């Protein structure tokens, strides 16, 4: 325990001690703080006083001292307005300043036809750099970083196969309103043998080696009112983009994991599964409201230019 | 009283030192936090914020149980980079029915304050079961067990507990009528505690969040919760400068 000898500082080697002595001879030096430290401390006190005056600080009653610093921004009526400094006001002013800097580009893109934007070297490089950021933040989670999509879940945006249309206006429509895929399940309406025949026919359309006899039966079924496949996928099985039914004649697959199957039988089986259980998925969220119209326009060009735009 | 008080007594008595240390550090916290309870502009006046439905509330319980908050914040700060990536900055009003709030302070994953409506239910289900299947670079763990049935039996009790903290779930007809006035009939129905279990099952089946209409799974609840996050306030109807004046 400390043996208190307060008020009688003892000298030890010329340095003043606090006067505390432990175990008879253990003393505590009382070195003064370095001068630079002391002054820095005083400066921070002065800084705090200045800060209280300039920025919002002390609470007073049901409000607080707002400080003398202000931020100026443009209000909804288009008039300049000032408010005491706060992060929200600062964000609003910064956003308006940045929007103003990008405005010439967005104005040009808004006034120009989509196909002309693509040909304009200055605008298309703006679209690529700004579009890449927007795509990464909003689209890449589903369509993947390069737009290659995911079989079984999300369409590939880089090929020329489009479910709802690959023209600029159709891509824009998809972005604004979103999409919802649907195919009824046929597992109960049709027999297993019938589904097998249909699967062989659909697989044969894309050049997969299927059972020819079954495929012939499937073709008949496809165009019959019993299975009614042609209602949505059309007589030529090329699908209808206005309702988002798939083109079954090309080699691009989204829902049936045909590329994932190693054998031809496996590929037919992948098609069979989709026919039997149908699809109640393929939801693309609507981006209207979350993204601004000019951002959607920019993304339209970006997606079109990923490689598959029509 | 303090005549015989010596600093040495504090230094040599751990208990007293502890009390004084706690007093000293509480002062800082009190000065920063307590005034917010009295400043009238702390919580913004905005339309649309409502308590979670029974299903969303159960989803929130699962969010907490699985520790989602340890890697995901729900607080978009008023900075331009955050606004560009996540959307409008969070308002105090948006978490007024959150007990406890899920603001968080750690972002190993992205902020989730406005994740509602950003992705499809299907994406959420796939992502929760195996995140790397849709985001190859993700370090998020797999949560495959969320596809198990949700225990809905105690949902009324859980809402009753939230009601004690001040969330306006209705326990009787008078409170129900108050909610009809405040939130409209459709929302008020979902906040009525005696119907909680029924409303939960109805929302899960109608919303089909997990891709299976037949059963109510934990996935249904969690996805329903994620899909409502940050969607209650319609910011197209709020002037940005009005929100500035709340600070």
CATH number for the domain spanning A141: value is: 1.10.760.10
| Nearest-CB residue to B240 (from A59, A86, A92) | A92
Whether B9 contacts chain A with CB within 8 A: no
Q: Angle B182-B47-B69 (CA atoms, 0-180°, nearest 5)?
A: 105
The predicted pLDDT at position A3 comes to: 47
Q: Is the pLDDT of residue A5 over 80?
A: no
Number of domains comprising chain A: 3
- Summarised one tens digit per residue, pLDDT across range A177-193 is 999 999 999 999 999 99
The predicted pLDDT at position A12 comes to: 52
Which residues does B179 contact at the CB level (< 8 Å), separation at least 6?
A: B168, B170, B187, B188, B191, B192
Q: Is the pLDDT of residue A296 over 70?
A: yes
Q: Tell me whether residue A42 is in a domain.
A: yes
Whether B81 contacts chain A with CB within 8 A: no
Q: How far is B194 from chain A (nearest CA, A)?
A: 33
Do A44 and A83 fall into the same domain?
no
Q: How far is B117 from chain A (nearest CA, A)?
A: 6
Q: Tell me whether residue A309 is in a domain.
A: no
Q: Which of A5, A62, A82, A177 to mutate to test the interface with B (most CBs of B within 10 A)?
A: A62
The predicted pLDDT at position B29 comes to: 86
The predicted pLDDT at position A13 comes to: 62
The predicted pLDDT at position A259 comes to: 87
Which domain, by its residues, includes A95?
A: 73-111
- Summarised one tens digit per residue, pLDDT across range A154-178 is 999 999 899 999 999 999 999 999 9
Do A55 and A193 fall into the same domain?
no
Q: Is the pLDDT of residue A2 over 70?
A: no
- Summarised one tens digit per residue, pLDDT across range B94-141 is 999 999 999 998 999 999 999 999 999 999 999 999 999 999 999 999
Do A260 and A293 fall into the same domain?
yes
All residues of chain A having their beta carbon less than 8 Å from the beta carbon of residue B230 are none
Q: Is the pLDDT of residue A23 over 70?
A: yes
Mean pLDDT of A116-134: 92
Q: Tell me whether residue A22 is in a domain.
A: no
At A88, is the pLDDT very low, low, confident or very high (cuts 50, 70, 90)? very high
Q: How far is A232 from chain B (nearest CA, A)?
A: 23
The predicted pLDDT at position A307 comes to: 84
Q: How far is B134 from chain A (nearest CA, A)?
A: 7
ipTM (interface predicted TM): 0.88
- Summarised one tens digit per residue, pLDDT across range A199-211 is 999 999 998 999 9
Q: Tell me whether residue A26 is in a domain.
A: no
Any idea which of A104-108, A124-128, B3-7, B104-108 has the lowest mean pLDDT? B3-7
Which residues does B203 contact at the CB level (< 8 Å), separation at least 6?
A: B53, B54, B55, B190, B224
All residues of chain B having their beta carbon less than 8 Å from the beta carbon of residue A284 are 120
Look-up of token digits 């927007």: A134
- Residue A169 token pair: 């206006």
d(CA A189, CA A201): 18
Mean pLDDT of A245-252: 92
Do A229 and A300 fall into the same domain?
yes
Do A100 and A174 fall into the same domain?
no
Q: Is the pLDDT of residue B150 over 50?
A: yes
Do A191 and A144 fall into the same domain?
yes
Q: Fold for domain B54-244?
A: Cytochrome Bc1 Complex; Chain D, domain 2 (1.10.760)
Do A287 and A150 fall into the same domain?
yes
- Summarised one tens digit per residue, pLDDT across range B179-199 is 999 999 999 999 999 999 999
Do A79 and A138 fall into the same domain?
no
Q: Where are the domains of chain B?
A: 7-37, 54-244
| Nearest-CB residue to B78 (from A87, A280, A281) | A87
- Angle between the N-to-C axes of helices B155-164 and B54-65, in degrees from 0 to 180, rounded to the nearest 10: 90
Q: How far is A61 from chain B (nearest CA, A)?
A: 7
At B1, is the pLDDT very low, low, confident or very high (cuts 50, 70, 90)? low
Do A57 and A78 fall into the same domain?
no
Q: Is the pLDDT of residue A11 over 60?
A: no
Do A173 and A283 fall into the same domain?
yes
Q: How far is B132 from chain A (nearest CA, A)?
A: 11
- Summarised one tens digit per residue, pLDDT across range B50-64 is 999 999 999 999 999
Mean pLDDT of A36-40: 97
Task: Tell me what percent of the residues of chain A surpass a pLDDT of 90.
Answer: 77
Q: Cβ separation of A95 and B8 shorter than 8 Å?
A: no
Q: Tell me whether residue A255 is in a domain.
A: yes
Q: Tell me whether residue A206 is in a domain.
A: yes
Do A246 and A215 fall into the same domain?
yes
For chain A, the average pLDDT equals 91
Q: Is the pLDDT of residue B69 over 90?
A: yes
For chain A, the residues whose C-beta falls within 8 A of a C-beta of chain B are: 1-2, 4, 56, 59, 61-64, 73, 75-76, 81, 83, 86-92, 94-95, 98, 133, 137-138, 141-142, 144, 150, 153-154, 280-286, 289-290
Look-up of token digits 């009190």: B30
Q: Tell me whether residue A106 is in a domain.
A: yes
All residues of chain A having their beta carbon less than 8 Å from the beta carbon of residue B80 are 91, 94-95, 98
Q: Cβ separation of A88 and B35 shorter than 8 Å?
A: no
The predicted pLDDT at position A1 comes to: 43
At B228, is the pLDDT very low, low, confident or very high (cuts 50, 70, 90)? very high
Q: Which of B241, B242, B243 to mutate to test the interface with A (most CBs of A within 10 A)?
A: B241
Cβ proximity of A168 and A117 under 8 Å:
no
Quick one: closest CA in B to A289, which residue? B236
Chain centroid to Cα A219, Å, comes to 42
At A150, is the pLDDT very low, low, confident or very high (cuts 50, 70, 90)? very high
Do A231 and A295 fall into the same domain?
yes
- Summarised one tens digit per residue, pLDDT across range A45-60 is 999 999 999 999 888 8
Q: Tell me whether residue A7 is in a domain.
A: no
């Amino acid at each position: 325990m400390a043996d208190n000898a307060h008020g009688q500082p003892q000298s030890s080697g010329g340095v003043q001690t606090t006067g505390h002595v432990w175990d008879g001879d253990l003393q505590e030096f009382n070195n003064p703080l370095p001068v630079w430290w002391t002054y820095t401390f005083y400066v921070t006190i002065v800084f705090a006083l200045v800060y209280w005056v300039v920025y919002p600080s002390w609470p007073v009653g049901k409000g607080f001292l707002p400080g003398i610093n202000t931020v100026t921004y443009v209000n909804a009526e288009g008039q300049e307005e000032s408010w005491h400094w706060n992060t929200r006001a600062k964000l609003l002013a910064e956003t308006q300043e940045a929007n103003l800097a990008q405005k010439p580009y967005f104005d040009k893109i808004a006034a120009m036809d989509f196909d002309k934007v693509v040909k304009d070297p200055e605008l298309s490089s703006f679209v690529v750099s700004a579009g890449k950021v927007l795509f990464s933040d909003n689209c890449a989670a589903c369509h993947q970083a390069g737009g290659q999509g995911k079989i079984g879940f999300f369409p590939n945006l880089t090929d020329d196969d489009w479910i709802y249309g690959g023209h600029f206006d159709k891509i824009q429509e998809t972005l604004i309103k979103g999409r919802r895929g649907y195919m009824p399940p046929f597992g109960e309406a049709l027999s297993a043998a019938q589904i097998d025949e249909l699967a062989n026919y659909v697989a044969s359309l894309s050049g997969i080696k299927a059972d020819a006899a079954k495929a012939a039966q499937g073709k008949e079924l496809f165009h019959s009112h019993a299975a009614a496949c042609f209602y949505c996928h059309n007589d030529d099985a090329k699908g209808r983009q206005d309702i988002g039914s798939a083109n079954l004649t090309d080699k691009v697959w989204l829902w049936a994991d045909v590329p994932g199957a190693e054998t031809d039988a496996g590929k037919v089986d992948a098609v069979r599964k989709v026919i039997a259980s149908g699809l109640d998925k393929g939801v693309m969220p609507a981006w209207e409201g979350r993204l601004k119209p000019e951002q959607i326009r920019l993304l339209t060009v970006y997606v079109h230019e990923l490689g598959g735009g029509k | 009283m303090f005549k015989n008080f010596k600093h040495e007594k504090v230094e040599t008595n751990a208990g007293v030192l502890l009390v004084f240390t706690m007093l000293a550090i509480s002062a800082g916290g009190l000065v920063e936090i307590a005034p917010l309870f009295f400043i009238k502009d702390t919580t913004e006046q905005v339309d649309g914020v409502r308590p979670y439905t029974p299903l969303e509330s159960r989803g929130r319980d699962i969010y907490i149980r699985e520790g989602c908050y340890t890697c995901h914040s729900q607080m978009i700060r008023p900075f331009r980079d955050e606004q560009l990536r996540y959307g409008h900055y969070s308002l105090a009003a948006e978490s007024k029915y959150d007990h406890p709030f899920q603001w968080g302070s750690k972002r190993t994953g992205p902020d989730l304050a406005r994740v509602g409506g950003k992705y499809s239910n299907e994406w959420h289900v796939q992502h929760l079961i195996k995140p790397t299947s849709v985001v190859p670079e993700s370090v998020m763990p797999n949560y495959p067990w969320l596809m198990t049935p949700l225990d809905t039996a105690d949902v009324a009790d859980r809402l009753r507990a939230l009601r004690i903290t001040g969330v306006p779930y209705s326990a009787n007809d008078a409170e129900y009528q108050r909610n009809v006035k405040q939130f409209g009939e459709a929302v008020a129905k979902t906040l009525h505690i005696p119907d909680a279990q029924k409303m939960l099952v109805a929302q899960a089946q109608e919303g089909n969040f997990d891709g299976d209409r037949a059963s109510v799974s934990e996935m249904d609840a969690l996805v329903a919760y994620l899909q409502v996050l940050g969607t209650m306030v319609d910011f197209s109807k709020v002037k940005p400068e009005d929100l500035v004046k709340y600070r």
